[in-house]
């Protein structure tokens, strides 16, 4: 059994290990000891904060922990509102028309335009499941439990929720898209640019990034081919988000051109299907549904998975004492739950 809970200072060494394991392109968790320590402090402050009237610059970082061994299995996070302190950049892929009626010529061209369109949106981020635990339902639960937290704490988040998908790069961390930008504008490799962004040093983007729309046809063929494409290891995460109602509106990452997908928070499948259920304790819960569930706390948030059934008529759920203990709930308390699809 596992529990998903807010990160704490005691998790520092494990989070640093995960930063090393995650590799290039995992911008939200760079290998930087000071930044990782500050990320934990910021998360603790966010979880401890009173309910806001509107989303602000808060970051909620969770860990998945094996209840038997205490091993940290992975991480998962949510940013309340991006781009309020530091500019949040994307490229938007759009079309321009070159038309001459006199010459009877009509051509369209794809262009990439630098923008800050997602400023203020909430972001799903820092999802990483460690290699030994990549089996069964672990990955799905580590991603989807966040929708229970979103549903229960709507005032902490924006109407639009986004997720940046890691783009195509090779084993050395080199991105075909970035190679073209590096050659013509930046003169620094992709891992360096990715790291600087991860530690918050984004001024170089405004200083060096092309100021005008970039015609896609002018990029190298290798760069063109990866626009809107994801890293092989990111395909499962993208499929999961699409099943939840996320879609691509032609926004891509400025470094590796990976897609950014979005959804209205009220239209996310698990947000819509989750409900509050009153806990009943039993030695042998009936039912065979995969259920993700959480308590209703913020600072003491707990989430896990169980096999049970949801009684939608009486709005009850039967839990074993073990599951109730993991969630820090007792009979008569409420939990938020949804079927794991």
Q: Which residues are catalytic?
A: 231
Signed CA dihedral, 171, 199, 213, 92: sign only:
positive
Give dist(CA 93, CA 99) in Å, integer.
20
- Long-range contacts at 13-22 (CB < 8 A, ≥ 24 apart): 14/63, 14/72, 15/39, 15/40, 15/63, 15/72, 15/75, 18/72, 18/74, 18/75, 18/128, 18/130, 21/128, 21/130, 21/131, 22/128
Q: Quick check: 62 and 5 in contact, CB under 8 A?
A: yes
Burial (0-12, 13-18, 19+ Cβ within 10 Å), 278: middle
Q: Give the distance, in angstroms, between the CA of residue 56 and the centroid of all CA atoms in the same chain.
A: 17
Q: Quick check: 3 and 292 in contact, CB under 8 A?
A: no
The pair phi, psi for residue 3, each rounded to 5°, is -130, 140
The pair phi, psi for residue 241, each rounded to 5°, is -65, -40
Give dist(CA 277, CA 207) in Å, integer.
52
Q: Quick check: 200 and 261 in contact, CB under 8 A?
A: no
The pair phi, psi for residue 152, each rounded to 5°, is -80, -20
């Amino acid at each position: 059994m596992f529990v998903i809970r807010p990160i704490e200072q005691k998790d520092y060494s494990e989070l640093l290990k995960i930063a090393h394991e995650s590799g290039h392109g995992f911008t939200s968790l760079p290998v930087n000891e000071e930044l990782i320590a500050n990320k934990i402090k910021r998360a603790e402050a966010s979880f401890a904060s009173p309910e806001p009237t509107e989303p602000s610059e808060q970051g909620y970082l969770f860990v998945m922990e094996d209840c038997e061994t205490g091993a940290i299995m992975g991480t998962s996070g949510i940013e309340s509102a991006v781009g309020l302190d530091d500019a949040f950049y994307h490229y938007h892929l759009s079309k321009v028309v070159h038309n001459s009626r006199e010459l009877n010529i009509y051509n369209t061209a794809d262009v990439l335009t630098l923008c800050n369109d997602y400023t203020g949106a909430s972001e799903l981020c820092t999802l990483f499941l460690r290699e030994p635990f990549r089996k069964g339902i672990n990955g799905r639960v580590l991603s989807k439990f966040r929708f229970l937290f979103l549903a229960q704490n709507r005032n902490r988040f924006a109407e639009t929720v986004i997720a940046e998908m890691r783009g195509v790069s090779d084993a050395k961390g080199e991105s075909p898209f970035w190679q073209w930008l590096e050659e013509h504008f930046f003169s620094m490799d992709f891992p360096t640019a990715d790291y600087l962004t991860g530690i918050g040093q984004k001024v170089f983007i405004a200083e060096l990034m092309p100021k005008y729309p970039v015609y896609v046809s002018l990029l190298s063929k290798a760069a063109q081919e990866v626009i809107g494409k994801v890293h092989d290891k990111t395909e499962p995460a993208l499929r999961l988000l699409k099943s939840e109602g996320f879609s691509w509106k032609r926004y891509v990452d400025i470094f590796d051109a990976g897609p950014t997908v979005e959804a209205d928070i009220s239209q996310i499948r698990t947000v819509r299907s989750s409900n509050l259920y009153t806990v009943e304790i039993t030695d042998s819960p009936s039912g065979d549904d995969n259920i993700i569930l959480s308590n209703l706390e913020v600072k003491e948030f707990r989430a896990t998975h169980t096999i049970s059934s949801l009684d939608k008529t009486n709005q009850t759920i039967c839990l074993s004492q073990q599951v109730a203990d993991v969630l820090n709930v007792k009979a008569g308390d409420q939990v938020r739950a949804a079927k794991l699809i």
